[in-house]
Amino acid sequence: MKRFPQSLVLAVSLTLPSLVLAHGGDHADPVRYRQSGFYLIGWHFGPMAAMIKGEKPMDAKAFATHAEAVANISRLLPEGFANGPHKGKTDAKPEIWKNPGDFADKMKAFQEQSAQLAQIAQGGDTGQIKAQFMKTAETCKACHDDYRKD
Protein backbone atom coordinates (compact mmCIF):
# COMPACT_ATOMS: atom_id res chain seq x y z
CA MET A 1 0.00 0.00 0.00
CA LYS A 2 1.30 3.43 -0.95
CA ARG A 3 1.35 6.13 1.64
CA PHE A 4 1.14 9.83 1.04
CA PRO A 5 4.50 11.43 1.78
CA GLN A 6 4.34 13.30 5.08
CA SER A 7 5.59 16.47 3.41
CA LEU A 8 2.62 16.44 1.00
CA VAL A 9 0.11 15.97 3.80
CA LEU A 10 1.73 18.82 5.68
CA ALA A 11 1.71 21.07 2.60
CA VAL A 12 -1.99 20.43 2.00
CA SER A 13 -2.96 20.99 5.61
CA LEU A 14 -1.06 24.27 5.63
CA THR A 15 -2.42 25.55 2.30
CA LEU A 16 -6.08 24.61 2.76
CA PRO A 17 -6.97 27.19 5.43
CA SER A 18 -5.25 30.00 3.51
CA LEU A 19 -7.08 29.03 0.29
CA VAL A 20 -10.40 29.22 2.09
CA LEU A 21 -9.52 32.48 3.81
CA ALA A 22 -8.21 34.05 0.58
CA HIS A 23 -11.81 34.40 -0.60
CA GLY A 24 -12.75 36.44 2.42
CA GLY A 25 -16.49 37.06 2.75
CA ASP A 26 -17.23 35.87 -0.80
CA HIS A 27 -17.63 32.28 0.27
CA ALA A 28 -20.97 33.16 1.84
CA ASP A 29 -22.43 35.51 -0.78
CA PRO A 30 -25.79 34.12 -1.99
CA VAL A 31 -26.03 36.73 -4.78
CA ARG A 32 -22.74 35.51 -6.22
CA TYR A 33 -23.86 31.91 -5.77
CA ARG A 34 -27.05 32.29 -7.82
CA GLN A 35 -25.49 34.57 -10.45
CA SER A 36 -22.74 31.98 -10.92
CA GLY A 37 -25.41 29.29 -11.34
CA PHE A 38 -27.28 31.35 -13.94
CA TYR A 39 -24.00 32.15 -15.69
CA LEU A 40 -23.34 28.42 -16.04
CA ILE A 41 -26.90 27.84 -17.21
CA GLY A 42 -26.55 30.58 -19.83
CA TRP A 43 -23.24 29.03 -20.88
CA HIS A 44 -24.93 25.72 -21.65
CA PHE A 45 -28.22 27.14 -22.91
CA GLY A 46 -26.62 29.31 -25.62
CA PRO A 47 -25.20 26.49 -27.78
CA MET A 48 -28.49 24.55 -27.49
CA ALA A 49 -30.43 27.63 -28.67
CA ALA A 50 -28.00 28.03 -31.59
CA MET A 51 -28.62 24.41 -32.64
CA ILE A 52 -32.39 24.83 -32.33
CA LYS A 53 -32.30 27.99 -34.45
CA GLY A 54 -30.09 26.29 -37.03
CA GLU A 55 -27.21 28.70 -36.44
CA LYS A 56 -25.11 25.67 -35.54
CA PRO A 57 -25.45 22.12 -36.90
CA MET A 58 -27.43 19.84 -34.57
CA ASP A 59 -25.00 17.69 -32.60
CA ALA A 60 -27.22 15.39 -30.54
CA LYS A 61 -24.42 14.26 -28.25
CA ALA A 62 -23.25 17.79 -27.42
CA PHE A 63 -26.87 18.87 -27.00
CA ALA A 64 -27.50 16.08 -24.49
CA THR A 65 -24.42 17.08 -22.48
CA HIS A 66 -25.57 20.72 -22.31
CA ALA A 67 -29.11 19.69 -21.37
CA GLU A 68 -27.80 17.46 -18.59
CA ALA A 69 -25.68 20.34 -17.22
CA VAL A 70 -28.66 22.74 -17.17
CA ALA A 71 -30.86 20.17 -15.40
CA ASN A 72 -28.17 19.53 -12.78
CA ILE A 73 -27.42 23.19 -12.11
CA SER A 74 -31.14 24.03 -11.90
CA ARG A 75 -31.32 21.88 -8.76
CA LEU A 76 -28.71 24.03 -7.01
CA LEU A 77 -30.39 27.40 -7.64
CA PRO A 78 -32.86 27.53 -4.70
CA GLU A 79 -29.85 27.63 -2.35
CA GLY A 80 -28.93 31.08 -3.75
CA PHE A 81 -32.38 32.50 -2.97
CA ALA A 82 -32.77 31.20 0.59
CA ASN A 83 -33.38 33.74 3.39
CA GLY A 84 -33.39 36.79 1.12
CA PRO A 85 -33.58 39.49 -0.03
CA HIS A 86 -29.80 39.83 0.10
CA LYS A 87 -27.56 42.85 -0.11
CA GLY A 88 -25.39 43.36 -3.18
CA LYS A 89 -25.54 44.12 -6.88
CA THR A 90 -28.45 42.00 -7.98
CA ASP A 91 -31.14 41.86 -10.65
CA ALA A 92 -33.39 39.76 -8.43
CA LYS A 93 -36.60 41.64 -7.59
CA PRO A 94 -37.64 41.80 -3.92
CA GLU A 95 -41.03 40.33 -5.01
CA ILE A 96 -39.31 36.92 -4.97
CA TRP A 97 -39.43 36.94 -1.18
CA LYS A 98 -42.95 38.42 -1.07
CA ASN A 99 -44.36 35.58 -3.21
CA PRO A 100 -42.23 32.63 -2.13
CA GLY A 101 -44.86 30.07 -3.18
CA ASP A 102 -45.17 31.42 -6.72
CA PHE A 103 -41.40 31.77 -7.08
CA ALA A 104 -40.91 28.18 -5.88
CA ASP A 105 -43.52 27.00 -8.43
CA LYS A 106 -41.66 28.77 -11.25
CA MET A 107 -38.36 27.32 -10.09
CA LYS A 108 -39.91 23.85 -9.94
CA ALA A 109 -41.40 24.19 -13.44
CA PHE A 110 -37.93 25.06 -14.74
CA GLN A 111 -36.31 22.13 -12.92
CA GLU A 112 -38.94 19.70 -14.24
CA GLN A 113 -38.87 20.91 -17.84
CA SER A 114 -35.06 20.96 -17.96
CA ALA A 115 -34.93 17.43 -16.50
CA GLN A 116 -37.40 16.36 -19.19
CA LEU A 117 -35.22 18.04 -21.83
CA ALA A 118 -32.14 16.14 -20.60
CA GLN A 119 -34.09 12.89 -20.86
CA ILE A 120 -35.55 13.58 -24.31
CA ALA A 121 -32.12 14.71 -25.58
CA GLN A 122 -30.80 11.21 -24.84
CA GLY A 123 -33.28 9.85 -27.40
CA GLY A 124 -31.86 12.10 -30.15
CA ASP A 125 -35.21 12.86 -31.86
CA THR A 126 -34.74 16.41 -33.19
CA GLY A 127 -38.47 17.20 -33.39
CA GLN A 128 -39.08 16.18 -29.78
CA ILE A 129 -35.92 17.96 -28.64
CA LYS A 130 -37.02 21.22 -30.29
CA ALA A 131 -40.49 21.08 -28.72
CA GLN A 132 -39.09 20.39 -25.26
CA PHE A 133 -36.41 23.06 -25.64
CA MET A 134 -39.14 25.66 -26.30
CA LYS A 135 -41.07 24.49 -23.21
CA THR A 136 -37.92 24.85 -21.11
CA ALA A 137 -37.12 28.31 -22.49
CA GLU A 138 -40.66 29.41 -21.58
CA THR A 139 -39.97 28.58 -17.93
CA CYS A 140 -36.91 30.90 -18.01
CA LYS A 141 -39.02 33.70 -19.45
CA ALA A 142 -41.94 33.15 -17.06
CA CYS A 143 -39.65 33.69 -14.08
CA HIS A 144 -37.61 36.54 -15.58
CA ASP A 145 -40.80 38.44 -16.54
CA ASP A 146 -41.92 38.57 -12.92
CA TYR A 147 -38.78 38.32 -10.85
CA ARG A 148 -35.77 39.67 -12.75
CA LYS A 149 -35.08 43.34 -13.43
CA ASP A 150 -34.65 44.04 -17.16
* Contacts with ligand HEC, residue ranges (CB under 6 A): 31, 34-35, 38-39, 41-42, 45, 70, 90-92, 103, 106-107, 110, 136, 139-140, 143-144, 147-148
CB of 21 to ligand HEC, least distance (A): 25
Closest CB to ligand HEC among residues 59, 91: 91
Least separation, in Å, of the C-beta of 128 and ligand HEC? 18
| Alpha-carbon span 102 to 115, nearest angstrom | 20
- Distance between CA 61 and CA 123 in Å, rounded? 10
Specify whether the CB–CB gap between 79 and 38 falls below 8 A.
no
CA distances from 15 to 1, 6, 27 (A): 26, 14, 17
In angstroms, the CA 110 to CA 118 distance is: 12
Q: Minimum distance between the CB of residue 68 and ligand HEC, rounded to whole angstroms?
A: 13
Nearer to ligand HEC, 59 or 145 (CB): 145
